Amino acid sequence: MKDLTSPVWIKVKGLLFLVIGSAAAGLVFLDHPGWKTVVLLALAIWGFCRFYYFAFYVIEKYVDPGYKFSGLLSFAKYWFRRRRL
Looking at residue 23, what is its pLDDT?
96
| Percent of the chain's residues with pLDDT above 70 | 95
pLDDT at 74 over 90: no
Of these ranges, 18-27, 57-66, 69-78, the one predicted with the greatest mean pLDDT is 18-27
Looking at residue 62, what is its pLDDT?
85
pTM of the model: 0.69
Long-range contacts from 79-84, C-beta under 8 angstroms, 24+ separation: none
Please tell me the distance from the alpha carbon of residue 21 to that of residue 17, in angstroms, as a whole number. Answer: 6
Choice between 22 and 84, residue whose per-residue pLDDT is larger: 22
